[in-house]
Every structure is written in C-alpha cells, then in structure tokens.
Amino acid sequence: MRTNWRRRVVLGATGTVVVVALALGAAGYYYSGLVIDPVHASAYPLEVTAVGDGRVTLKGGVDTGAPGSYGLTWAGGNAVLGETISVGAGTVTRTLDKVISGDLKPGVFAYLDRWMWSDGTPKSVGVPYKDVGVKSPLGTFPAWQTEGSSDTWVIAIHGRNARAGEALRILPTLHDLGHPVLAISYRNDEGAPASPDGRFHLGDTEWEDVRAAMDYARTQGARKFVLYGWSMGGGIAAVAARRLPDAGITALILDSPVLDWRSPIAQGARQMGVPGLLTTVGQWVISARTGLSFDDLDHVEHAAEFDLPILIFVDHDDATVPVDRAQAFDARRPDITTLVETKGGGHTGSWNVDPDDYEKAVTEFLRSPR
C-alpha cells in the first residue's frame, strides 16, 4: 500500500511538472511570436471628434498630447499637427497645420504619426529620388535612392515592422549636406522577400541586406557609408558595423536603438503583466526558433569592438526601448559616442520634440572631420 501511494505521489508530481513545463513553453512560444513574427497591419486608436478653426480634437491613445510636431494618419489620409492647445477628459486638442491628403472629419479613426508623412515618398519632403531594387541573397529589395554629390552615402535602416518612410524627417537635412541616401527595406518587410523561416532575427541576419545595399551603392559611386538606423534598424546598423569592419563604414547614427534585446523584451513583458520567469522562457524560445544569440546582440557588452564615431538619440519617455542601455554604451565609449537626450517624444520621437536641434546635431556630426 505504501509503495503504491508513493508511486501515485511521484507520478502526480511528475505530471504536474510536465503540465507546468508545457504551459510555460506554450506561453513562451506565444510571447516569442510577438517579438519575431512580422506584423504589417496599421492600428487606428484615435478618434477625431472635432475639426475646425485650425485645430483638431482627438480621443483615445496614450501619447496624443506629446510635445512637438506629428503627423496624423488615417486610412486614405494624412495631416500635419502642431502643438497641443488643450487637454480635456480623455481628449486632446492640437493645432492642425495642414491636411496633406484625404478628408479629415469627425468620426475618422487615426494614429499619431511620428514619421509625419505616413506612406509618403521623398517627394513629400522635396527631395529628388528614384525607386530602385537592391539585390540580396534572398531576392530584390525595394529602396529609395536620393540624389547627392558626396561619395559618402547614408544607408537608412527603418525599425521593426516599419517602412522606409521612417527616414523622411531627416532626408532634407541629409540632402542639403550632399549625401545620397539609400532608404532600404530588408527581409520580411511588406513587399520585400521573406527570410527562409519568415521571422525577424533582430539584426542577426538582417545585416546581410545592409551589406547588399552597400554593394549596390558602390555601383552608383559610393565609397564610404554612414549607417542611420531607427529602433531595430539601429541594432541592425550596429551588427553590420561589427561584422563589416573593412567595408568603408565611417559613422553610425542611431535613433532609439536596440543595443541589447533583453532590455526592451523585458520592458514589454512588464507592460503586459508577463511574469519574469515567462520572459526568460520567451527569450529562450526566441533563440531556439531563430538561432540568434542574445549575448552576441548585446552591443553594450561588445562596445570595445566599435572604432567609429556614433551619434545616438534617445528620449526619456520611450515606452518601447529603455534608454539605459544607450546610456551604458555612452559611459563605456565616451571617446566615440555623442549622446543626445530628449523628453516627451517617445520612441523614435526626438526629432518631433525639437526638429531644429535634432537636425543641428546630425549636421554637426556629419560635418565633423573623421
């Protein structure tokens, strides 16, 4: 009897462990998908409740009253918004600078657009360009190529689930400085070839498409390169700089960059109420599903490998990528890093808070001898 009782206890405990492990694995798999599975659908969380007299009132959202200039984008339309005029019960009223396209009226659902011009092209900001195709091992990737007289090209690398339009805000400045810009797409972007597994590898493979973009630029007269990346694009730029030390990369400009993936993954989990254990499981599942190494993608720990000037923008109200890792990188490599810190703009919103200071920082950085 006692032996049977012990057997039942052992079997019961084993079954419980298996169930818990399976539950953790399933939850970790689901959470990993939130990080590495591409998503291209747009969400429109803001409702337009009033339009008129050079102002628009918006309902909903969490950052509708952010300081600075933003776009307002809805299905089939786009407008440019200025500063906040007033804040009501669940609403924010901002100045309406210009309706670029579409019909802005009460009842429209939209989102606050940090890129300003949504699905616009360089033509939206007055920069001459042409659509080109960049050949990479996975196929041909669409890109924008702007005009310029310099043989130092800027490779613009957008963030995760974003598009080349993320670069539109800074294109006029780069054009005025004479730098041709190649604003690229990379694997798993909408309209671009997919990776073999259809998943993001958080820079571990996407850097190969940056290399392909540089190869294309060389056929157009490029001799040197500045890699300019936003969010995950900043992490991709950092990977490319480490893996292509002799490719003519002379500088990095990183806006809200992911310099260590553990940090934003953990922050996102906390915001969702995900337990810390599950976050760890999720990271393990990401590694298992993609083959990437979080240690290798921790550019703070590899800061000694960088030997080129780096300009980094961070915003202290960034709810997506914590700023502490960029600060840690700056602390380890003050000899090569220029860190510009803003407040109120949120993720990749430093330009929106103060376009003049942002563009001045980029201009001075690119004009400095190197």
Considering only residues 146 and 117, tell me which one the structure prediction assigns the higher pLDDT: 146
Question: How far is residue 129's CA from residue 102's CA, in Å, rounded to a whole number?
Answer: 24
- Percent over 70 (pLDDT), the chain: 92
Question: How far is residue 327's CA from residue 364's CA, in Å, rounded to a whole number?
Answer: 21
pLDDT band at residue 201 using 50, 70 and 90 as cut-offs? very high
pLDDT band at residue 249 using 50, 70 and 90 as cut-offs? very high
Q: To which H or E segment does residue 130 belong?
A: strand 129-136
Look at residue 14 and tell me whether its pLDDT is greater than 50: no
Nearest Cα neighbor of 308 from 336, 338, 340, 339 is 336
Please give the pLDDT value at position 183.
Answer: 98
pLDDT band at residue 61 using 50, 70 and 90 as cut-offs? confident
pLDDT band at residue 274 using 50, 70 and 90 as cut-offs? confident
Residue 34 burial (C-beta neighbours within 10 Å; 0-12, 13-18, 19+): middle
Classify residue 301 by its DSSP letter. T
Question: How far is residue 46's CA from residue 67's CA, in Å, rounded to a whole number?
Answer: 17
Helices 262-272 + 2-36 axis angle, to 10: 110
What 3-state DSSP class applies to 83?
strand
Please state the pTM of the whole predicted model: 0.92
Look at residue 18 and tell me whether its pLDDT is greater than 50: no
Q: Integer distance in angstroms from the first to the last C-alpha of the chain?
A: 82
Please give the pLDDT value at position 32.
Answer: 82
Residues 299, 259 contacting (CB under 8 angstroms): yes
CB atoms under 10 Å from CB of 10, counted, come to 10
Classify residue 304 by its DSSP letter. G
- The pLDDT mean for the chain works out to 91
Q: Domains along the chain?
A: 46-113 (2.40.10), 122-261+297-367 (3.40.50.1820)
Please give the pLDDT value at position 358.
Answer: 98
Considering only residues 292 and 20, tell me which one the structure prediction assigns the higher pLDDT: 292
- 228 φ/ψ sector (left φ>0, alpha ψ -120 to 50, else beta): beta
Q: Average pLDDT in the 33-38 region?
A: 90
For residue 215, how many C-alpha atoms fall within 13 Å in the half-sphere facing its CB?
A: 14
Considering only residues 165 and 119, tell me which one the structure prediction assigns the higher pLDDT: 165
Q: To which H or E segment does residue 28 belong?
A: helix 2-36
Structure tokens, 189: 């972007």
Look at residue 117 and tell me whether its pLDDT is greater than 50: yes
Q: Among 83-92, 186-195, 348-357, which stretch is predicted with the lowest mean pLDDT?
A: 83-92
Q: Average pLDDT in the 348-363 region?
A: 98
Nearest Cα neighbor of 213 from 227, 233, 203 is 227
Question: How far is residue 166's CA from residue 302's CA, in Å, rounded to a whole number?
Answer: 27
Q: To which H or E segment does residue 25 belong?
A: helix 2-36
Give the tens place of pLDDT for each residue, 276-329. 777 888 899 999 999 999 999 999 999 999 999 999 999 999 999 999 999 999
Structure tokens, 343: 């407040």
Q: What are phi and psi of 258, to 5 degrees?
A: -90, 100
DSSP-derived pairing of the beta strands 181-184 and 249-255: unpaired
pLDDT band at residue 28 using 50, 70 and 90 as cut-offs? low
Please give the pLDDT value at position 256.
Answer: 98
Write out the E strands in 231-294. 249-255
Please give the pLDDT value at position 278.
Answer: 76
Look at residue 17 and tell me whether its pLDDT is greater than 60: no
Nearest Cα neighbor of 155 from 70, 244, 71 is 244
DSSP-derived pairing of the beta strands 152-157 and 129-136: unpaired
- Percent over 90 (pLDDT), the chain: 82
Alpha helices (H) in the chain, listed in sequence order:
2-36, 171-176, 207-219, 232-243, 262-272, 276-290, 324-332, 350-353, 355-367
